Amino acid sequence: MAVVLISTASFAQSVTLTFTAKDAANQHVQLNRVSITNLTKGWQETIYWPDSTLTMQNGTGINDVETFPETSLQLSQNNPNPFTGTTEVNLKVAEEKDVMLDIMDVNGKTVGMHRMRLQAGTHQFRVTVSTAGIYVMTARQNGRTSSIKMVCNGGGDGNKIEYTGVVGANNHSPLKIKTNSRGLTNNPFSLGDQMEYVGYAIINCSAVESQHILQAQDSSQIFTLQFSETQHQLPIVTTNTITSITANSATCGGDVTSNGASSVTARGVCWSILQNPTVSDSHTTDGSGTGSFTSNITGLTTGTTYYVRAYATNSAGTSYGEQRSFTAVDTAGDPCPGVSTVTDYDNNTYNTVQIGNQCWMKENLRTTHYSDGISIPLGSSGSNTTAYCYYPDDSVSNVGTYGYLYNWPAVMGNSSSSSANPSGVQGICPTGWHVPSDAEWIQLSDYVGSQTQYQCSANSAYIAKALASTSGWAIIMSNLCAVGLEPSSNNSTGFSALPAGCYGSNLSSFGSDADFWSATQIYGNFVYYRQITYSGAYLYRNANDKSYGYSVRCLRD
């Protein structure tokens, strides 16, 4: 058994410097670059627009967890460490068996978990942690463990472990040391060092320098660099409308007057304290002209309030309209707009559900034919080359509710593996629909995990209850956030995952597991699939042999 040694006393403190600027008339100035000089340590660093922050580490001494050698299971130290949000880890496996990975904080709380079957070799994982702190990551296989200590400075998009590939195969290469990451200096710094800050900008077509700031730095700080020049007259812009609000997008509009300047571009700008949506610009007015504009805003989070300002730019700078706000509307759980049902070749009709930007079948597939009429035979044994379907729990009476179980050859037809989004693989799905790729399953889990109303215990990884049906599950009386605990509270997304079980060497797990194929082969005969268990809180990302029989959900093209 591996022994883990943890030292918390050497945790480094981060100091973050953030820069903005004003002209002599107190108008915002866009900085071209900022020069940061440590007069005590004798180094200088420059950050360039659009970067506006620099993070310095007070001291060093991040010690790795010591893992006494285990030749059959070896978790390598993550890189980089410390890290901001995301880091990468290699795992060496000596034999092909299931591996469980988990991440635990210093209080013993599990914040991330991943389970899958790995072949012998070295595999790479991407780890994301949202909260600053010290964590222990542990790999477990067949009674053996290997652990490392990781130090996170915060900033990650949720807590998760993602498989990225075999090291040295399929264009995956070994980890490389990353230095001088964007916004983070490797130069030495100690609290109280004497610092100098100078900003540079283009004002009225001339390169100018801000006033210098000289001070001892002992904490994070926001600086406003002052320029002595005054910018030329700015354009006039107003925000008039916010329309077409949905769960993921909205449209804002405004008017702009160029105010006698040339090359004025009007844009809609949206932001919140949680994220920065994507904005599409769509209008330009030149000279002394006046015009209206609209901007499409995407990447919104359901239930989040967004603050909207239109702005316009010319050679003199940028001006802003009045601030408006709106809340993204939740449409998840509703039928797909314009496609409330879909019918397969056997005339089975399925309800649909809109979740984020994806339109899913709300029921498990139960066809015995491809869309061209070719039949899929009922199987009595497994195969990774011949297409078969199977009765859930070996009972034809279960098909109406739980659909069929299909091996991967049946799911794909004659199509090849796809990792694209969308997959482009119709396979067993009706015309106009396709088998979801691993990337499309990731899109679903990322969206559901980003919505607080679908999280259990405010954990973005605990989304199984939001996806699982309200009936059919084995009951469990403990394990908070488990699907089988009070199943009547499940299914807030409307996805309605049913525990149809699986076919391996025999039929099993009926009432306890829901397993869904993807269109993405990982290596050899192994393919990604998704699993929900009655005793778990996760939508597991696993891989298994093509001969297994799992349920199928189709996505609209």
Interval 110-138: pLDDT, tens: 788 888 888 888 999 989 888 887 888 98
Interval 157-178: pLDDT, tens: 778 898 888 886 433 333 332 3
Question: Residue 10 has what pLDDT?
Answer: 42
Q: What is the mean pLDDT of residues 56-80?
A: 64
Query: Are 315 and 351 part of one and the same domain?
Result: no
Q: What is the mean pLDDT of residues 395-406?
A: 96
pTM: 0.49
Query: Are 376 and 400 part of one and the same domain?
Result: yes
Query: Are 349 and 468 part of one and the same domain?
Result: yes
Question: Residue 120 has what pLDDT?
Answer: 87
Instruction: Read off the CATH number of the domain in which 201 is found.
Output: 2.60.40
Query: Are 429 and 348 part of one and the same domain?
Result: yes
- Number of structural domains found in the chain: 4
The burial of 532, by beta-carbon neighbours within 10 Å (0-12 exposed, 13-18 middle, 19 or more buried), is given as buried
Question: Residue 514 has what pLDDT?
Answer: 97
Of 393 and 306, which is predicted with more confidence? 393
Q: Is residue 429 part of a domain?
A: yes
Per cent of the chain over pLDDT 70 is 84
**Cβ pair 297, 285 in contact under 8 A:** no
Question: Residue 515 has what pLDDT?
Answer: 98
Interval 226-237: pLDDT, tens: 999 877 667 777
CA distance 103 to 147: 10
Question: Residue 246 has what pLDDT?
Answer: 63
CA distance 533 to 8: 36
pLDDT at 60 over 60: no
Interval 476-526: pLDDT, tens: 988 899 999 999 999 999 999 999 999 988 888 999 999 999 999 999 999
Interval 445-470: pLDDT, tens: 999 998 888 999 999 999 999 999 99
Query: Are 437 and 472 part of one and the same domain?
Result: yes
Question: Residue 178 has what pLDDT?
Answer: 32
- Nearest CA to 7 out of 66, 57, 56 is that of 66
Beta partners for residue 34, in sequence order:
47, 199
Question: Residue 323 has what pLDDT?
Answer: 72
Query: Are 151 and 195 part of one and the same domain?
Result: no
Residue 421's domain comprises: 341-556
CA distance 366 to 324: 48
Question: Residue 369 has what pLDDT?
Answer: 97
CA distance 351 to 492: 16
Token pair in block for residue 509: 């797990």
